[in-house]
Structure 1
Amino acid sequence: MKKIVSIILAVFVMFGINGCSNNTKTESKTQINVENSDKQSLHYPVTITTYNYAKQPVKVTFEKSPERVVAVYQNSIETLLALGLGDKIIAASGLDHDVKDEYKNAFSKLKYYEKAPTKEEVIGLQPDFILSWYSLFGAKRLGDVDFWHERGIKTYMSQNSGVIKPNTLQNEYDDILNMGKIFNVEDKANEIVNTMKQEIEKSKEFVKGKEKVKTVILEVEKDGVYRIYGEDSIGGDIAKEVGADLVAKSNGKIGNEDLIKLNPDVIFTVYYGKEIDRDSALKSIQENPALSSVSAIKKKRVNPIMLSEVYSSGIRTLDGIKTISKGLYPELYGNN
């Protein structure tokens, strides 16, 4: 009898010990999940200021990271890819240039629309977030943001896409940082913005005590007519920040005679898509006999610059800073 009791007690003890062990493991796993959940819940809700089509500020609150994003135009797509959020994009459209090489693999996995999806197509995609330029939310396109907000779909307009004047570097920084907040990737967003600021500081330090370089940023509209990117543009803001003398200060149009009078030492000519390719943007300045007396042409200091580096530039703001700094101060960058 004693032997039987001993066996029963041994079995009971064995199952009791294992039961405690399993409970301990379950509690441990539950605790880890709760900790991860807490990290997310501590970040959200996040409230961001965006705009409606009347250019009025609108507060949008995110309870969690968006999962189904429609991203239209260069900066929208590339900013999300740079932040490692390609898996969130369900539809992309509106590129003026191929995406940067480092994002091509991630971009190849996206559904890309050659023409921006219609309002009906976007509704069918069931997004929870739309990221784009001001122009996309016009009545003839996706419609104003209220339509989407009433359906639980958040929106964000790039600030330099026609919403806020003047266009500034700070607006680009803020857009990237806002994406960091919305998607809970603030460390990466801060890293991108800080790299841009460091590039600005590098040029600022280099030009201390030196004579300012006279420069113009323009886009060739037709022979002898140029659209100026002045102080109120991103390109103009970059040029000022890195110490250049932006001699064409106001946005608007000028002709050959005006450009000759300004006589810049350096010209940046904007190109984009199929409308103005890189070569034609250069040739229309360099090979224009009416401009042969201009200092920048005589010294062969005419530089092509992408539209996406000087308009609603997103992560290409860094490229814009480098392009303008290299054009102004080639000795700063050596042979790079």
Structure 2
Amino acid sequence: MKKVISIVLSAMMVLGVSGCDNKNVANSSKTENKVEDINKNTSQYPLTITTYNYEKKPVNITFEKAPEKVVAVYQNSIETLLALGLEDKILLASGLDHEVKDEYKDAFSKVKYQEKVPTKEEVIGLQPDFILSWYSLFGEKRLGDVGFWHERSINTYMSQNSGVIKPNTLQNEYDDILNVGKIFNVEDKAEKIVNNMKNEIEKAKEFVKGKEPVKAVILEVKKEGVYRIYGEDSIGGDIAKQVGADLVAKSNGEIGNEDLVKLNPEVIFTVYYGKEIDRDSALKKVMDNPAFGSISAVKSKRVNSIMLSEVYASGIRTLDGIKTISKGLYPELYRNK
């Protein structure tokens, strides 16, 4: 009997040790996985990104970790953060020209927003760790140059197409989105957004192969008889060129009624923004102008409104700009969509 009990006890001890070993292996595995996850999330830091100062000179800034308290000013800054799922990082948002896109309204409802752009003193009081905005915000009469903030361990990033770099290009918009993705360690989301834009460009390029270029103009009604041209050096112009249009007004600048009649574009894109010039008024100022009766685009009713936020410092609305311009040039490409 003693021998039987001894054998049973020995077997239980072996099983116990084996069970402990398995448990320790499992715990060890979990610990290793946890460490791997932490390393995966933090391995890119410290991260150095190039931005600019108010003299438009490149400045390198270093992030020791992803920002947690962000002041985001103007449409593209706010919507890019929302598109990347970073609404919980926004300390304060300000300066929208339009309501945020429908798909981000729920996220935006959780963000503190004020219409008026904050003063330098207000931002100092908020104690952010990152400011994302346009070039103009860092002028002397607003927040002051970026060096002031960098000395206080508050990093900044300027949208490149907001007055920092000429020409304005699609690539600058891609780079801004990708840079914000890197800063917050959400590169996969940023790459997906940019790839969608690139795919839309390629779709239009493929469609127009072998076709005659469409003569187009992108303009903004500055005042009666005076039109600001968005030429090849603008985002809208770059989109139009890339999808095969012939921009008959190639240089940024201003033209009058007679100039536009002589150019005789087949398609016109007229820019609208805010409350000053809404979608309908932008269209009417071109379509109802008696001087334009002979213009091909007016006769065929191929005058299209396009939002300023789609062709200037456009951020995630760059995709909308690509679609608006491609659809205006090639409506049959989007007919069944």
TM-score (norm 1): 0.93
CA distance in 2, matches of 1:128, 1:26: 37
Assess, with a 3 A threshold, how the Cα gap between structure 1 residues 335 and 14 changes in structure 2: closer, same or farther.
closer
Assess, with a 3 A threshold, how the Cα gap between structure 1 residues 26 and 210 changes in structure 2: closer, same or farther.
closer
State the match for 1:236 in structure 2: 237
Assess, with a 3 A threshold, how the Cα gap between structure 1 residues 50 and 15 changes in structure 2: closer, same or farther.
same
State the match for 2:7 in structure 1: none
Q: CA deviation at 1:32?
A: 3.7
State the match for 2:175 in structure 1: 174
- 1:308 lines up with 2:309 in the alignment: yes
RMSD: 2.2
Percent identity among equivalent residues? 78
State the match for 1:284 in structure 2: 285
Secondary structure of 2:92 counterpart: strand
Secondary structure of 2:270 counterpart: strand
Q: Deviations over 1:20-59 (max 9, x none)?
A: 8887676555434322221123222211110000000000
Secondary structure of 2:277 counterpart: coil
TM-score (norm 2): 0.92
Secondary structure of 1:43 counterpart: coil
Assess, with a 3 A threshold, how the Cα gap between structure 1 residues 53 and 23 changes in structure 2: closer, same or farther.
same
Secondary structure of 1:210 counterpart: coil
State the match for 2:332 in structure 1: 331
State the match for 1:256 in structure 2: 257
CA distance in 2, matches of 1:177, 1:24: 40
Secondary structure of 1:320 counterpart: helix
Counterparts of residues 124-135 of structure 1 (less than 5 Å): 124-135=125-136
State the match for 1:31 in structure 2: 32
Q: CA deviation at 1:113?
A: 1.0
Equivalent AA in structure 2 for residue 269 of structure 1: T
State the match for 2:119 in structure 1: 118
CA distance in 1, matches of 2:152, 2:303: 49
Equivalent AA in structure 1 for residue 90 of structure 2: I
State the match for 1:137 in structure 2: 138
Q: Deviations over 1:280-304 (max 9, x none)?
A: 1000000000111111000000000
Secondary structure of 1:160 counterpart: helix
State the match for 2:66 in structure 1: 65
State the match for 1:53 in structure 2: 54
CA distance in 2, matches of 1:335, 1:245: 25
Which consecutive unaligned segments of at least 5 residues does structure 1 have? 1-8
Equivalent AA in structure 1 for residue 304 of structure 2: N
CA distance in 1, matches of 2:47, 2:250: 38
CA distance in 1, matches of 2:188, 2:333: 29
CA distance in 1, matches of 2:129, 2:325: 37
State the match for 1:186 in structure 2: 187
State the match for 1:162 in structure 2: 163
CA distance in 2, matches of 1:293, 1:36: 65
Secondary structure of 2:104 counterpart: helix
CA distance in 2, matches of 1:204, 1:15: 68
- 1:197 lines up with 2:198 in the alignment: yes
